[in-house]
Amino acid sequence: MKQPDLQAIRDWADAKLATGQEPPWAWFQYMKLRETLDCILASQEVTQTVNSPQSEQYPETHLRLVGATYPQDNAQSRQDQPPVQTPM
């Protein structure tokens, strides 16, 4: 989201808090929203975008599902560990 959009949401939360008519649980949620937006807006102010190869747009890639090479039920146990003794 862009900074003006975040500021608009923060202003909306401030307006809700200013009415004083919100129930305690809603008031608490609006305060958390406002504090979170304050942190995001403050971090946006101190962060600057640099033209670097990492900031270039890359073609969209998709994840693909790959089957497991060694399923758990076929995996061999390690032989270098002694067997676990359970109490009877």
47-82 b/e with 16+ CB inside 10 Å = b? eeeeeeeeeeeeeeeeeeeeeeeeeeeeeeeeeeee
The whole-angstrom separation of Cα 62 and Cα 66 is 13
* Average pLDDT value for the chain: 81
Q: What is the pLDDT of residues 35-53, one digit of tens each?
A: 999 999 999 888 866 665 6
Q: Is the pLDDT of residue 12 over 80?
A: yes
Say whether pLDDT at 77 is over 70: no
Say if residue 57's pLDDT is above 90.
no
The predicted pLDDT at position 14 comes to 94
What is the value of pTM for the model shown?
0.52
Cα 26 from Cα 59, distance rounded (Å): 42
